[in-house]
Amino acid sequence: MSSILFEIRDQIAFITLNRPEKLNAFNREMALSLQNRLDECASLHEVRAVYLTGAGKGFSAGQDLAEIVDPQGPGMEQILSEHYNPIITRIRHLPKPVIAAVRGVAAGAGANIALCCDVVVASASASFIQAFSKIGLIPDSGGTYFLPRLIGWQRASAIAMLGDKIVAGEAERIGMVYKVFEDKDFETASQALAVTLAQLPTRALAFTKHALNYSSVNSFEAQLQLEDELQQKAATTQDYAEGVQAFLGKRPANFKGE
Ligand code: LHQ
């Protein structure tokens, strides 16, 4: 069985982390395979949104800890540079929205892969754990970048150091995730969100993502300049023309992602 399941439906690429007996912990094969699938999502025109989730009862427990003590396994020096950093970079640069659908636990790199996505939703019984300090490591996979930006410095600092389990309701309250859905509604509600994202003007969403990527590093003036440049590009898209015509014609817009 493949460690990553991949299916395209309704212009959405469904990517499922699939090592359920290990709570979808990442080994090298799974990390490289996820990178390949993200590349496919970027290059396939028919894909207009990505839905990332985990098989079984969890999202992902982060690095497979058995692999790091395996003498045949990848070395510590490879794990971030060849596994997680390329995943996080691919997700942030993918010119399409990526929704993380977190059911069950997301721990370590598994939590931070979810948190770097564009829209993060969780089932009511989900939880997020910065498990790193428990094993003498630091939050990686973008954790020290995204956490303070999502939930503020103090909460990020405490959570990163204490490694507390943050349950879904709390994660929503502090802005770590966008929405929480009841367990029984989770699949339907989270997939409906992916359908909505896939039907929006994809190129405008890509420009929005690009602008957000730079918003915390740019000066105010540079960010206004970037918005100006990206808005000029958005205004050349067919979806922009369609959106304006649809509004004026009092009809729903039919965006094509072009
Ligand atoms: C696992 C794992 C796992 C292997 C559950 N590995 N088997 C970067 C730099 C370089 C190196 C290190 O890593 C990183 C990035 C990182 O991600 S570091 C953080 C790594 N992750 C962790 O430290 C989390 C370890 N897991 C846990 O603390 C618990 O499993 C959590 C709290 C996630 C879930 O607890 P439970 O719901 O009680 O599940 P469980 O512990 O019973 O796990 C179920 C099975 O999955 C179990 O196997 P078994 O054969 O006993 O049924 C676990 O051994 C296995 N598993 N996480 N990371």
Report the pLDDT value the prediction gives residue 1, as an integer from 0 to 100: 84
Summarised one tens digit per residue, pLDDT across range 185-209 is: 999 999 999 999 999 999 999 999 9
Report the pLDDT value the prediction gives residue 182, as an integer from 0 to 100: 98
CB of residue 201 inside a 6 A radius of ligand 1: no
Given a cut of 50, the residues of the chain with pLDDT beneath it are none
141 Cβ neighbours under 8 A, 6+ residues apart: 80, 84, 85, 87, 88, 108, 109, 112, 113, 116
Kindly list the structural domains of the chain, giving each domain's residue range(s) and its CATH number in brackets, ordered by start.
4-198 (3.90.226.10), 202-248 (1.10.12)
Report the pLDDT value the prediction gives residue 164, as an integer from 0 to 100: 97
Asked whether 3 and 27 are in contact (CB, 8 A), the reply is yes
- Tell which one of 3, 17, 21, 22 to mutate to probe ligand 1, the residue whose CB is within 8 A of the most ligand atoms: 22
**pTM for the structure as a whole:** 0.98
Say how many Å lie between the CA of residue 204 and the centre of ligand 1: 38
CB of residue 140 inside a 6 A radius of ligand 1: yes
3-state secondary structure of 171: helix
* 112 Cα nearest atom in ligand 1: 17
* 110 Cα nearest atom in ligand 1: 17
Summarised one tens digit per residue, pLDDT across range 239-256 is: 999 999 999 999 999 999
CB of residue 65 inside a 6 A radius of ligand 1: yes
CB of residue 113 inside a 6 A radius of ligand 1: no
Asked whether 104 and 55 are in contact (CB, 8 A), the reply is no
Cα separation, 137 vs 161, whole angstroms: 10
Residue 162, H or E segment: helix 153-162
Say how many Å lie between the CA of residue 200 and the centre of ligand 1: 37
3-state secondary structure of 36: helix
Residue 211's CB is within 10 A of a number of other CB atoms, namely 16
